[in-house]
Structure 1
Amino acid sequence: MGNIGLPGILLIALIILLLFGRNRFSNMMGDLAKGVKNFKKGMADEEAERPAEPRQLPREDTVDVEARRDTTRDETR
Structure 2
Amino acid sequence: MDLSIFLGMVGVPQVILIAVILLLLFGGRKIPELMRGLGSGIKEFKDASKNDEDDKQSKPASNKE
Report what 1:52 is aligned to: 60
Q: Which residue identity is paired with 1:25? A: I
What's the Cα RMSD here? Answer: 2.0
Structure of higher CA gyration radius? 1
Structure 1: segments with no counterpart, 5+ residues: 56-77
Q: Which residue identity is paired with 1:48? A: D
| Bigger relative CO (Cα 8 Å, ≥ 6 apart) | 2
Shift of 1:43: 0.6
Does 1:43 pair with 2:37?
no
More helix by share: 2
Q: Secondary structure at the match of 1:22?
A: coil
| Sequence identity (%) | 33
Shift of 1:19: 1.6
Instruction: Name the count of aligned residue pairs.
Output: 55
**After the TM superposition, which segments of 4 or more aligned residues of structure 1 sit over 6 Å from their partners?**
none
Q: Deviations over 1:1-28 (max 9, x none)?
A: 8322101111110121122111211111
Q: Name the CA distance, whole Å, in 2 between partners of 1:52 and 1:22.
A: 50
Shift of 1:45: 0.7
Structure 2: segments with no counterpart, 5+ residues: none
